[in-house]
Amino acid sequence: MNARLSAACRLLPGVVAPRYDRARPSGIVHIGVGAFHKAHQAVYTDDALARSGGDWMITGVSLRSSDVADALNPQDGLYTLLVRGPAGVSARVVGAIARVLVAPQNPAAVLEALAAPSTRIVSLTITEKGYGIDPSTGGLDRAHPAIAADLSDPMHPQGAVGYLVEALRLRRERGLGGFTVLCCDNLPGNGRVVARLVGEFARERDPDLVQFIEADVSFPSTMVDRITPASTERTFADAQALTGCEDRAAVETEPFSQWIVEDRFVAGRPDWEAGGALFVEDVAPYEKMKLRLLNGSHSLLAYSGFVAGHAFVRDVMADADLVDVVARHMREAARTLAPVPGVDLDAYARDLRERFANPAIAHQTYQIAMDGTQKLPQRLLEPAAEALEEGLPLDSYAFAVAAWMRYALGRKEDGESYALRDPREAEIAARVGGDASPAAIVTTL
pLDDT computed for residue 1 by the predictor: 66
Read off the pLDDT of residues 151-161 as tens digits, 9 standing for 90 and up. Answer: 999 999 999 99
Asked if 12 contacts 242 with a C-beta cutoff of 8 angstroms, the reply is yes
Q: With 80 as the cut, is the pLDDT of residue 236 above it?
A: yes
Q: What is the pLDDT of residue 247?
A: 98
3-state secondary structure 330-368: HHHHHCCCCCCCCCCHHHHHHHHHHHHCCCCCCCEHHHH
- Partners of residue 133 on adjacent β-strands: 140
Residue 355 · residue 254 · CB < 8 Å: yes
Q: Which segments of 81-221 does DSSP mark as H helices, in order?
A: 107-115, 145-152, 160-173, 190-205, 207-216
Look at residue 209 and tell me whether its pLDDT is greater than 90.
Answer: yes
Domains (ranges, CATH) in the chain? 26-280 (3.40.50.720), 284-444 (1.10.1040.10)
pTM given for the model: 0.92
Cβ pair 75, 98 in contact under 8 A: no
Taking only the tens place, the pLDDT of each residue in 300-353 is 999 999 999 999 999 999 999 999 999 999 999 999 999 999 999 999 999 999
C-beta of residue 59 within 8 angstroms of C-beta of residue 113: yes
What percentage of the chain has pLDDT greater than the value 70? 100
Average pLDDT, the chain: 96
Please state the rounded mean pLDDT for residues 385-400. Answer: 97
Of 116, 63, 109, the residue nearest 267 (C-alpha): 116
